[in-house]
Chain A
């Protein structure tokens, strides 16, 4: 197996790799990969236009009202009650929407509830002869309840509990999984903030695909460890964001266990090997506020994944406007998806109550 361990950040890589392996479930060997894919890919695209425009590098974002999707430990910075709705226009008949409510809770805490929905329509169902049988569609959901609290003056911590549901197998009941996110934020100075987050602990889907003559299978969500920072310049008008993600996912491979000799001739016996697939990637983002009502954003995701083809650049803006007594903010992000280079258009509206 070819090892493709990134050489850019060897110390961090080794540290995060070790940490991620500790987080992973027991199993076989560790494979290093450029792309650590796993179940629940929809839940890792991003949550809203602000985050996607900034390359999803928000684990340590120092601005207020950051979605707990990026780090539940950011909830203490919730300024007031906020409702946010996001819709994305995606290629290949994909759908992605999110809805979120966050609110401060006392002087040091915040809570949030978020719902992420993804779907695919227009799947050309065909039988084993190639004849069209039906047009299929799928739906996946992630419902999160998050809580964050400032433990010390400079230190905050948070937790998210996420219920995942996937309805992708025809004629089968939706499958559900439960995941836990843990996060911390440390304000190192007035300009520099460091943060860490572990995502999707315990999360897995246990499939029963008998309805399509499949088998009982378990698909684990990747366990992701994010470490990042944010740096503020020009009196807060410029924010620089960066994070690294170490991703470990348990995956399976069928191999020939042995060849047994029977009275009817040789026969292969297969067994399933378990592997932990590990990968590293980086993200960066920058936000600049030339005027109070306008914020310009740009970002780069998937750094270190698949070379330049796997990079996911993005750009966008945010506008603030008061409508009556409501503070309304609108954000837009244009994201160039990796490999296929299709454009993802994402819009978010936030209303502060």
Chain B
């Protein structure tokens, strides 16, 4: 079982936040440049390695997910994780793409690390054998000498993007044939590879001043992301990418949605692009900052492409909106939905669309005309607890289940129960990381203790619940008492618990439901014949 500390919850938000409040030109921190190949077997684990599930990708009946490189294998009903050295060095899986069909069994993981001022790219892990082994690939960055880009008949000047900071792999997409992989690399723009990531080619997207470009026309604009001095282009900062069933490439940037039909591609690989932006119409995309793209597999007609947009301050205005848009005709027309909702991720089945957002999980079974919000997730097991409201960060559908990644663990709903989301309250499975109180081999990160409370510090406005973990040798009624510094009792929590490692949760309020003041609190847990205790730092 792997246990690591990482700051993945804030990293993805940092990247997007930087765009919301203005572009960063971050300083780069030293990071290993060791790109040697590695191949590791997947190791079975009992539970997710983290409760912070912010990136997922479905491949058949398997669910790959971050922040380490882990998979839930439906057939075996177990989690497995790739013990890759690079993930032991403060890197996290920032984006995932998976393909599992008769032709291909590819897994791509985009790696990022915290530079101190946002996430920085740190290359990729690539598997072509369904996850049995992975090789490490270098980041999609330029050499300092890469100051020009050939585009059709034009030789365009370009800003060489050499810094890892700001260029984290926000999104990955695989072509239907599996021969091309695309990365939405933030400030490094949109890039593709046809040799499994050994080399990357920079895609040229329209500048902010153009609606479309095509390789046959001569251009004279500079390729590069918007800089602090105002030069460069917001449309060259890419956050999402998708290749649909027709081979059309969709790229979401800070300045719109870019579409490239497969027919516009030249022999050299250059593509024509059309850029869509928000207009004062219900028939346009909701906003220009496109953070997520998903294709919906429909039995007839062209597959709809769904996208989530955020309100970006840069180049903003009243048409910058949070919401969801969909095109069912390859970009000719758009429909809007969930306007005003901050949506992080979208997943779709033939007849149902799911959107994970800050207000909950949204479900539509009529192609987005009406939606139902799911803000709470009843659990199958009463031994586990979720806060009253959980924010879904990512959503995915496998052959067997609907998966929702949250900051409180991984939620699974059997496919047969999915229709009940629209009409009722089906019960979910919750998978959470479980750090033992008495590990067989204690480490600095997993010490041998009788009890611990987590997260600690506990921030009620952020965490909602603090969990007090302890181990019972037999089923019993457990009483947890919480005290302030002067040992005045603040709260008593009593529950019947089975044997094994258990948790009691506290919401940071006293017996009358009043928020306790910021400070240090002490708790005692009455076990079989002994009392164990710990401390909780409450920071409201």
Pick the contact of B454 from A37, A41, A130, A310 — CB < 8 Å? A130
Q: What is the size, in residues, of chain A's interface with B at 8 Å between Cβ atoms? A: 67
- B51: which A residues are within 8 A, CB to CB? 128-129
Asked whether A329 is an interface residue with its Cβ less than 8 Å from the other chain, the reply is no
- B104: which A residues are within 8 A, CB to CB? none
**Cα separation A42 to B485 with both chains bound (whole Å):** 6
A219 and chain B: residue at smallest CB distance: B517
Whether A37 contacts B488 in the complex (CB less than 8 A), given A130-B469, A138-B520, A340-B483, comes out as yes
Asked whether B341 is an interface residue with its Cβ less than 8 Å from the other chain, the reply is yes
Asked whether A179 is an interface residue with its Cβ less than 8 Å from the other chain, the reply is no
Q: How far is the CB of A270 from chain B (nearest CB, A)?
A: 10
- 6 sampled A-B residue pairs with Cβ under 8 A: A92-B533, A168-B519, A169-B457, A219-B540, A263-B338, A264-B371
| 13 additional A-B residue pairs with CB within 8 Å, beyond A124-B456, A131-B435, A138-B519 | A37-B510, A128-B407, A128-B455, A132-B445, A170-B539, A207-B539, A264-B341, A264-B359, A264-B373, A265-B373, A268-B375, A338-B487, A340-B483
Whether A120 contacts B535 in the complex (CB less than 8 A), given A129-B50, A131-B435, A209-B540, comes out as yes
In this complex, the member of B52, B453, B454, B469 whose beta carbon has the largest number of chain A beta carbons within 10 angstroms is B454
Interface string of A112-133 (1 = CB under 8 A from B): 0000001010111111111111
B510 and chain A: residue at smallest CB distance: A37
Interface string of B330-355 (1 = CB under 8 A from A): 00000000100100000000000000
The answer to whether A212 and B509 have CB atoms under 8 Å apart is no
**Cα separation A38 to B486 with both chains bound (whole Å):** 11
The answer to whether A37 and B457 have CB atoms under 8 Å apart is no
The answer to whether A310 and B433 have CB atoms under 8 Å apart is no
Q: How far is the CB of B70 from chain A (nearest CB, A)?
A: 13
**Cα separation A275 to B455 with both chains bound (whole Å):** 28
B492 and chain A: residue at smallest CB distance: A339
Within 8 A of A (CB), among B419-471: 433-435, 444-447, 449, 452-457, 459, 461-463, 467, 469
Asked whether B9 is an interface residue with its Cβ less than 8 Å from the other chain, the reply is yes
Whether A129 contacts B454 in the complex (CB less than 8 A), given A93-B535, A214-B459, comes out as yes
- A337: which B residues are within 8 A, CB to CB? 486-487
The answer to whether B488 and A35 have CB atoms under 8 Å apart is yes
For chains A and B in complex, what number of residue pairs have CB atoms within 8 angstroms? Answer: 206
Asked whether B384 is an interface residue with its Cβ less than 8 Å from the other chain, the reply is no
Whether A214 contacts B539 in the complex (CB less than 8 A), given A264-B341, A267-B375, comes out as yes
- B536: which A residues are within 8 A, CB to CB? 123
B50 and chain A: residue at smallest CB distance: A129
Asked whether B512 is an interface residue with its Cβ less than 8 Å from the other chain, the reply is yes
The answer to whether B433 and A130 have CB atoms under 8 Å apart is yes
Q: How far is the CB of A333 from chain B (nearest CB, A)?
A: 15
Pick the contact of B514 from A138, A213, A253, A310 — CB < 8 Å? A253
The answer to whether A217 and B489 have CB atoms under 8 Å apart is no
Whether A213 contacts B456 in the complex (CB less than 8 A), given A130-B433, A168-B519, comes out as no
The answer to whether A310 and B520 have CB atoms under 8 Å apart is no
B359 and chain A: residue at smallest CB distance: A267
B456 and chain A: residue at smallest CB distance: A126
**Cα separation A254 to B507 with both chains bound (whole Å):** 11
**Cα separation A252 to B461 with both chains bound (whole Å):** 13
**Cα separation A219 to B514 with both chains bound (whole Å):** 12
Asked whether A305 is an interface residue with its Cβ less than 8 Å from the other chain, the reply is yes
The answer to whether B462 and A127 have CB atoms under 8 Å apart is no
Asked whether B518 is an interface residue with its Cβ less than 8 Å from the other chain, the reply is yes
Whether A131 contacts B375 in the complex (CB less than 8 A), given A168-B519, A219-B540, comes out as no
The answer to whether B539 and A130 have CB atoms under 8 Å apart is no
The answer to whether B452 and A130 have CB atoms under 8 Å apart is yes
A337 and chain B: residue at smallest CB distance: B487
**Cα separation A39 to B487 with both chains bound (whole Å):** 13
The answer to whether A124 and B486 have CB atoms under 8 Å apart is no
- B32: which A residues are within 8 A, CB to CB? none
A217 and chain B: residue at smallest CB distance: B540
- A130: which B residues are within 8 A, CB to CB? 433-435, 452, 454, 467, 469
A214 and chain B: residue at smallest CB distance: B459
Pick the contact of B435 from A129, A213, A268 — CB < 8 Å? A129
The answer to whether A123 and B452 have CB atoms under 8 Å apart is no
Asked whether B403 is an interface residue with its Cβ less than 8 Å from the other chain, the reply is no
- B522: which A residues are within 8 A, CB to CB? 92, 340
The answer to whether B455 and A127 have CB atoms under 8 Å apart is yes
The answer to whether B518 and A44 have CB atoms under 8 Å apart is no
The answer to whether B338 and A264 have CB atoms under 8 Å apart is yes
- B510: which A residues are within 8 A, CB to CB? 37, 251
Asked whether A332 is an interface residue with its Cβ less than 8 Å from the other chain, the reply is no
- B434: which A residues are within 8 A, CB to CB? 130
The answer to whether B537 and A136 have CB atoms under 8 Å apart is yes
**Cα separation A93 to B457 with both chains bound (whole Å):** 17
The answer to whether B517 and A125 have CB atoms under 8 Å apart is no
- B interface list, Cβ under 8 A from A: 3-5, 9-10, 49-52, 338, 341, 359, 362, 370-373, 375, 389, 407-408, 433-435, 444-447, 449, 452-457, 459, 461-463, 467, 469, 481, 483-490, 509-510, 512-520, 522, 524, 533-537, 539-540
Query: Lowest 3 A-B CB distances belong to which pairs?
Result: A130-B435, A265-B373, A39-B517
**Cα separation A310 to B459 with both chains bound (whole Å):** 28
Interface of B is mostly: loop
The answer to whether B540 and A215 have CB atoms under 8 Å apart is yes
Asked whether A342 is an interface residue with its Cβ less than 8 Å from the other chain, the reply is yes
Pick the contact of A217 from B52, B490, B518, B524 — CB < 8 Å? B518
**Cα separation A138 to B539 with both chains bound (whole Å):** 12
B337 and chain A: residue at smallest CB distance: A263
Asked whether A166 is an interface residue with its Cβ less than 8 Å from the other chain, the reply is yes
Whether A128 contacts B52 in the complex (CB less than 8 A), given A37-B510, A265-B372, comes out as yes
- A253: which B residues are within 8 A, CB to CB? 509, 512-515
- A219: which B residues are within 8 A, CB to CB? 517-518, 540
Asked whether A205 is an interface residue with its Cβ less than 8 Å from the other chain, the reply is yes
Asked whether A176 is an interface residue with its Cβ less than 8 Å from the other chain, the reply is no
**Cα separation A277 to B490 with both chains bound (whole Å):** 13
**Cα separation A310 to B4 with both chains bound (whole Å):** 41
Asked whether A266 is an interface residue with its Cβ less than 8 Å from the other chain, the reply is yes
Within 8 A of B (CB), among A243-275: 251-254, 262-268, 275
Asked whether A31 is an interface residue with its Cβ less than 8 Å from the other chain, the reply is yes
Q: How far is the CB of A215 from chain B (nearest CB, A)?
A: 5
**Cα separation A262 to B522 with both chains bound (whole Å):** 42
A129 and chain B: residue at smallest CB distance: B433
**Cα separation A120 to B375 with both chains bound (whole Å):** 38
The answer to whether B484 and A37 have CB atoms under 8 Å apart is yes
A93 and chain B: residue at smallest CB distance: B535
The answer to whether A122 and B535 have CB atoms under 8 Å apart is yes
The answer to whether B535 and A132 have CB atoms under 8 Å apart is no
B452 and chain A: residue at smallest CB distance: A124
The answer to whether A212 and B457 have CB atoms under 8 Å apart is yes
- A353: which B residues are within 8 A, CB to CB? none
- B389: which A residues are within 8 A, CB to CB? 268
The answer to whether B338 and A209 have CB atoms under 8 Å apart is no
The answer to whether B537 and A123 have CB atoms under 8 Å apart is yes
**Cα separation A219 to B452 with both chains bound (whole Å):** 26
Pick the contact of B446 from A132, A217, A264 — CB < 8 Å? A132
Interface string of A89-128 (1 = CB under 8 A from B): 0001110000000000000000000000010101111111
In this complex, the member of A166, A254, A342 whose beta carbon has the largest number of chain B beta carbons within 10 angstroms is A254
Pick the contact of A129 from B3, B483, B534 — CB < 8 Å? B3
Pick the contact of A124 from B463, B519, B534 — CB < 8 Å? B534
The answer to whether A267 and B373 have CB atoms under 8 Å apart is yes
- B444: which A residues are within 8 A, CB to CB? 132
